[in-house]
Amino acid sequence: MSNNARYVKVSTDVFNAVATQLKKFGLEITGKQGNISKMGVSADYKYDEATEVLEISNVEVGMPASFAGFSTEKVIAQITDAVLGSGGEKA
């Protein structure tokens, strides 16, 4: 499975809601692009407010997150659930 995901129709409100959801998992988004990393989970993100596109790339899961049952697929699924639950769409 890919370690990337792309989302559309991500308004600023949707982006902020996704950031709040991810913070519950310990993944803090600061700014419109960057890297999130916590407990063995890391990913790059880029949000384009003008086109309402959110791109997640280079998702990696290592220790200790992998011992807790996390995988690249599970992390992307959680991000996807947060985006869809907030009103965005998977591209």
- Is-contact 77 60, C-beta < 8 A? no
Q: Quote the DSSP letter at residue 16.
A: H
Span 70-87, pLDDT tens digits: 888 988 998 999 999 999
pLDDT at 63: 86
Our count of domains for the chain comes to 1
Domain of 26 in residue numbering reads as 5-90
> For residue range 6-36, what is the model confidence (pLDDT) as tens digits?
999 999 999 999 999 988 878 889 899 999 9
Read off the CATH number of the domain in which 18 is found: 3.30.310
Q: Are 4 and 58 in contact (CB under 8 A)?
A: yes
Rounded Cα distance, 82 and 79, in Å:
5
> In the numeric block, which tokens belong to residue 27?
């993944």
Would you say residue 1 has pLDDT above 70? no
Other beta carbons within 10 angstroms of residue 16's beta carbon come to 12
Query: Amino acid identity of 43?
Result: A
